[in-house]
């Protein structure tokens, strides 16, 4: 803990309320996004110092990283749901072997139906082309 009721963690300082201190990067991804929006809304000065550019680059990099992490988290959630359903299906099929055979027959019927629909669709397309 620093003097004046300020906390510092990994180089990021905030007051006890969580608000960012002047001239110090905010500590949460949401605060980073707000700060990035503010920085983009302010007009750039022609002779900005390298520190400001480096700070802006860091903000953009962290914003991009946050977006990438959110996208990866969504993908992991989808994979987790798929794995859960696969495990559920395996348990159901092991506890009821006749269900597995019924599922195979149902899948075969679906594939045959799908194949027949595709044939009919192709025939309909060729017939329509001939009429034109």
With beta carbons less than 8 A apart as the criterion, state whether 27 and 18 touch: yes
Q: Is the pLDDT of residue 121 over 60?
A: yes
**pLDDT, tens digit, 9 for 90 and up, residues 26-63:** 555 666 566 666 666 555 555 567 778 888 889 999 99
Q: Which long-range contacts (CB under 8 A, 24 or more apart) does 38-42 make?
A: none
Average pLDDT, the chain: 75
Q: Is the pLDDT of residue 129 over 70?
A: yes
Q: What pLDDT, on the 0 to 100 scale, is given for residue 55?
A: 87
pTM confidence score:
0.38
Higher pLDDT, 112 or 38: 112
| Residue 12 β-bridge partners | 9
């Amino acid at each position: 803990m620093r003097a004046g009721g300020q906390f510092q963690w990994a180089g990021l300082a905030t007051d006890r309320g969580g608000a960012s201190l002047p001239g110090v990067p905010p500590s949460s991804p949401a605060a980073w996004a707000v700060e990035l929006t503010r920085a983009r809304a302010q007009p750039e000065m022609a002779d900005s110092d390298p520190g400001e550019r480096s700070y802006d680059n860091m903000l953009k990099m962290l914003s991009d990283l946050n977006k990438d992490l959110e996208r990866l988290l969504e993908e992991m959630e989808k994979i987790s749901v798929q794995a859960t359903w696969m495990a559920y299906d395996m348990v159901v099929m092991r506890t009821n072997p006749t269900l597995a055979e019924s599922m195979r027959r149902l899948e075969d019927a679906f594939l045959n139906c799908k194949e027949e629909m595709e044939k009919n669709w192709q025939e309909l397309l060729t017939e329509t082309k001939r009429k034109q």
